[in-house]
């Protein structure tokens, strides 16, 4: 999936699910938008839907390093790359 399309899909999720509209892709989501651990778990459910398959425990643990929208896009791209 193209990075721009991924970005648009993630921004849609942030708008619809988290009521965070057009966050700066490089801003710290926790500090700037009060994105917390509950939101992170919900986001993983969306990422699973996006990928069409469940994330492994190891992949979920890796997601805990994400701090920004760009981190999240990198994370998804990385999973796609490793799975291919």
Partner 1 sequence: MGRRVVITAESAITPVGHGKKDILNSLLNGISGIKSINRPDDVLAKHIHSGVYGIVDYEIPYDFSRKFRKTMGPVSYYACQTAKEVIEQAGLANDFLSSGRLGVAFGSIQGSPSVQRNIFKAFFDPDDKGFSNINAADYLKSMMHTTAVNISRMFGITGRVLSSCTACTTAAQSIGFGYEAIKYGMQDAMICGAADEYDLTTVAVFDNLLACSTSYNDTPYLTPRPFDLNRDGLVVGEGAGAVLLEEYGSAKKRGANILAEVTGFSCTNNGGDLILPNSDGVKRTIKAGLENAQINPEDVDLISAHATATKAGDVIEAQAIFSEYGDNPYVTGLKSYVGHTMSACGVIELIFSLYMMQEKVIIPTLNLEEIDERCNMIKHSTKLIEKSVNTVSIQNFAFGGVNTCLFIKNRS
Interface with partner 1 (CB under 8 A): 18-19, 34, 38-39, 41-42, 45, 48, 54
Residue 3: CB minimum distance to partner 1, A = 27
Q: How far is the CB of 42 from partner 1 (least distance, A)?
A: 5
Which residues in 35-44 are b (16+ Cβ under 10 Å) and which e?
beeebbeebb
Nearer to partner 1, 26 or 34 (CB): 34
The smaller minimum CB distance to partner 1, of residues 46 and 75, is found at 46
Least Cβ distance, residue 48 to partner 1 (angstroms) = 8
Annotate 2-53 with DSSP letters as a single string.
-HHHHHHHHHHHHHHTT---S--TTS-HHHHH---HHHHHHHHHHHHHHHTS
């Amino acid at each position: 999936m193209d990075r721009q399309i991924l970005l648009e899909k993630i921004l849609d999720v942030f708008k619809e699910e988290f009521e965070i509209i057009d966050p700066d892709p490089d801003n710290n989501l926790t500090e700037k938008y009060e994105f917390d651990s509950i939101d992170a778990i919900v986001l993983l459910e969306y990422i699973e839907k996006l990928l069409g398959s469940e994330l492994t425990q190891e992949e979920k643990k890796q997601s805990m390093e994400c701090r920004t929208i760009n981190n999240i896009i990198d994370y998804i791209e990385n999973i796609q790359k490793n799975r291919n």
